[in-house]
Structures are given as structure tokens and as C-alpha cells.
Amino acid sequence: MSSGAAESIEFLVREAQSGDVRAFEMLYRRTSDRVYSVCLRMSADPEQATELVQDVFVRVWEKLASFRGDSQFTTWLHRLTINLVLQERRSRARREAREFGCADLDHFGREARRSMPGTRVDLERAIAALPDKARRVLVLRDVEGYKYDEIAQMTGVTLGTVKAQIHRARGLVKEALA
Amino acid sequence: MTEHVSMARMNDALDALLTAAETDALESHILRCSVCRDDYARLSETVTALRGLARSATVPDEAWAGIAARIGTEGRAKTGAADADVVLRLPTGMAPPRSRRLFFSVPQLAAAAVVVSMLSAGTVWMALGAPAGADFPAAEVALEPLGGAAARAVSTRGARYVEVVVELEQILEEGRAVLAPETLVTIEESLTILEAAIEEIRSALARDPNSDLLLRMLANQERTKLGVLRRAVAAVQAQI
């Protein structure tokens, strides 16, 4: 396989499906930033987000053979990422075991500044400070652009609950920025 | 509409979920009501800002190493450049952990590289046959932190080290034809792994230049590489 950024995602997927680890690494380098942004915002925890990225790509490697190209790889990857983040229960356990305090927010803010130069850190911190469920649905709706019914399906809660959580989350972010 | 507009209604408006008539009524109200106008403006600004956030974030460098270790027997260790040509391979027969979650800090990554390289160097030792009394290279990997001066002393061999390595590599290159192909492959793979480990440690040192542990690890890896080269050259010379 020749190297270089010119290889298409489709080509890299095909090569990785045949077991080419180098192609898979190139695929990772081309797509992991998008995955990390989802994981970072939804978990509000840089270490956990990195672990989630690792989990996502290990899962991709394991499932790649079953990817038939019916949808775009990036769409498939994005959905797989969100499913994995939503399945993640350790975040809740971790948060229940500790207060999410200023130090955590500062840590998150530094990582947001490093990994997303130019982002509004005050806004990122306001999202990170939200309760877990509210933060996840807000990110899915307003950052990732999913519809309410899609979010209800993904999270397994009613449409009304999703709407209420998103409205509440928006209100909290609005107040935090005031 | 005489009462204030609910936040739910404002949110529905921002999500384009209102009918045309409902939208008209809301707009009509906020033109007359400064409280709702301010609330709506702030909510609208918030939602607009959320929707405008970047959807890409630079993943930490160390993430790939954990993935590579979990998906198979080889993976490329990122050392800064996106397409660095450093390959971190586990020696044949060493199964990767498949279900453990791995996240390496910089010193851990360097230490992992050291472990892999030591296993590899051991393979060379076995392939070439260790002379009586020779130390297995793992004996050199005592990673107790040294004092600062001592640690720096072991890493100040720079120029002489490079000179010796170049000389040995040249002898090995000229004598590769006399070595059995499988022996040559073992030696070359081990040297690649050792160089990857050295590069990994140097990369870690660039970020933490005062780490005695890293300096000691670098010295050990350089010494091990030297040992592998010397053994390989001795094997070449024994055949000539």
C-alpha cells in the first residue's frame, strides 16, 4: 500500500478489512479527531474520552469485516461511537463517586483549549458542567445535529423526556454564560 | 398572547417545530414584551453558539499505541509526525492483551517500548547463542531512578556512541550475506524495535528533559542496541 494522505477513506477501509494494520492506522489518523470530539464533549472527561476513542477503534477493527459499505464509513463510525459512549456506564459510576468540581472543569477546559484551538472554552465548560444525561442529549441535538426522535431512539427514553432534558440543558448553559 | 412565552415554546421555535401561526404569535409577543425578547435572544444566541462548535478535536498522541496493542501483534507507534516510520512490533508468539483497556502516559509508553525491545533483544541472544558468562540484556534494565548527575552522565556518550554504532552497522551491512536469512531477519527486526524504543524514550525526554528515569532508560536501550550489534558483528566475523 502506498502511503500518503491521498488514499481515500474507502480504499483504506478495504485495505483494513483485509487485515492491513497500517491502512487501519491511517484510517484512524483520518477519522479519530471527529470521534474524539464526540467522546470528549459527551464524557466531559479527557482521560475517559481517550479510553473511549480506543474502545471505538478496537470495536471498529473487530467489526470492520461486517461493514458492507451500505452507508458511508464515517456515518457508520459516528453512530458506532455514539452507541458506545451511551453504553458507557463507568462515567456515571465515576461521577457518582466524586463531585465534579472546579478542578475537573479546569482540567477539561485545558484539554478543550489544547484539542480544539479557537473553541469557546466558556461554552465548553458550561456543557461539561451539565448533568450527564442532559449533557449527552444536548451534544447529540445541538452539536451533532440529531433529531429529537433519533435521540429518543438512541437513548431509549421517550421523546417528551428528551425534549425536556434538552430544554433544561439549554437553559442551564444560557445561565452559565450570562 | 398576553402572558410570557414559555421556555418550551421558545425552544420549539428555535427547533422549527412551531406552525406558521404559532411562530407569528410568538414574534408578535416578543416585539411587545422586553422580558421575553431578552430571554429569546439569549436562548437563541446560546443555541447558535452550540450549533457552531467545531466537531473535531485533536486526539492525544498516545491513544494509538493502546489501540495497536489491543488489535493485533503489530502497530505503528506515533512519535510526533503523522507518518513516522517507527514500527513497534511484539516479538513472535507474544499475544497482545485483547480485552484490557490501555491508556499510556508518556513514561508508561517509553517503559512499554523498553519491555518490547528487551524481549526482542532476548530473541537475538537466543538466535545467535549467548557465549558463556554473557549477560542477557534484560539484566541491564534496572530502572531505579538515578541521581540527576549520574543519570546525565550515562547519556553523555552521544558522539562516541553514534560513531561505534555506525561502525558496527557498516560491518553488519557488509557481512549480511554470510548470516542465515532467518538470523538476519531476527537481527533486523530487533534493531528496528530497539530503535523505536529509543525514539519513544527520546520523544518522552523532549517533553520531560529532567527525568532521571527516562535518561536511565535511554542509556540502557542504547547499550542494549550496542550489545545486539556487537553480537551480530561477532556472528558475522565468525563466519568469515
Rounded average pLDDT over B134-139: 40
- Whether residue A57 and residue B67 make contact (CB cut-off 8 A), yes or no, is yes
For chain A, the straight-line distance linking the first and the last C-alpha, in angstroms and rounded, comes to: 53
Angle at which helices A21-43 and A73-87 cross, to 10°: 50
Q: Point out the least confidently predicted range of A109-118, A163-172, B63-72, B184-193.
A: B184-193
Q: What pLDDT, in 10s, does the model give residues B64-94?
A: 999 998 887 444 333 333 333 333 333 333 3
Contact B166, B78 (CB under 8 A): no
Which cell numbers hold the place of B202? 527520546
The alpha carbon of B89 is separated from its chain's Cα centroid by a whole number of angstroms, namely: 13
Burial of A135 (0-12, 13-18, 19+ CB in 10 A): buried
**Domain ranges across chain B:** 7-51, 103-239
Start-to-end Cα distance in chain B: 101
- Torsion angles phi and psi, residue B75, rounded to 5: -165, 160
Mean pLDDT on B197-202: 78
Instruction: Kindly state the cell numbers that stand for A147.
Output: 433529531
What's residue B221's pLDDT? 76
CB nearest B59 (choices: A24, A33, A123): A33
Pick the residue from chain B with its C-alpha nearest to A4: B83
pLDDT in tens, A11-26: 999 999 998 999 999 9
CB A138 within 8 A of CB A132: no
Percent of chain A at pLDDT exceeding 90:
71
* Contact B8/A at CB under 8 A: yes
Distance of CA B111 to the CA centre of its chain: 11
pLDDT for A54: 96
Spatial distance between the Cα atoms of B87 and B22, rounded to a whole number of angstroms: 62
Contact B50 A123 (CB under 8 A): yes
Q: How confident is the model at residue B159 (pLDDT cuts 50, 70, 90)?
A: low
- Interface test with chain A among B12, B48, B51, B53, by most A beta carbons within 10 Å: B53
Which of the given ranges, A77-81, A84-88, B105-109, B124-128, has the highest pLDDT on average? Answer: A77-81
User: Which three three-digit cell numbers place residue B22?
Assistant: 404559532
A80, exposed or middle or buried, with CB in 10 Å at 0-12, 13-18, 19+? Answer: middle
Residue B109 contacts residue B217 (beta carbons within 8 Å): no
What are the backbone dihedrals phi and psi of residue B92, each rounded to the nearest 5 degrees, phi first? Answer: -55, 135
pLDDT in tens, B18-40: 999 999 999 999 999 999 999 99
What's the confidence (pLDDT) of residue B73?
A: 45
Sign of the CA dihedral with A46 first, then A47, A51, and A57 last: positive
- The whole-angstrom separation of Cα A141 and Cα A67 is 26
pLDDT at residue number B80:
34
Work out how many CB contacts closer than 8 A connect A with B.
119
Pick B46's closest partner by Cβ from A38, A148, A177: A177
Minimum Cα–Cα distance from A116: chain B residue: B57
CA angle B147/B152/B157 to nearest 5° reads: 145
> What percentage of chain B reaches a pLDDT higher than 90?
25
Residues 79-108 of B with CB under 8 A from A: 82-83, 101-103
Residue type, B213: L
- Which pTM was predicted? 0.59
* Burial degree of A95 (CB within 10 A; 0-12, 13-18, 19+): middle
Q: B72 and A21 in contact by Cβ < 8 A?
A: yes
Q: Which residues of B touch A54 (CB under 8 A)?
A: 63, 66-67, 70, 101-103
Q: Cα–Cα distance between A9 and B127 in angstroms, integer?
A: 41
pLDDT of residue B111: 62
Please give the CATH topology (third level) of the domain spanning A7-98: Rna Polymerase Sigma Factor; Chain: A (1.10.1740)
Residue A30: pLDDT band with limits 50, 70, 90: very high
> B186 pLDDT band (50/70/90 cuts)?
confident
Nearest-angstrom CA–CA distance, A103 and B224: 43
A33 neighbourhood in chain B, CB within 8 Å: 56-59
Please give the DSSP secondary-structure letter assigned to residue A70. Answer: S
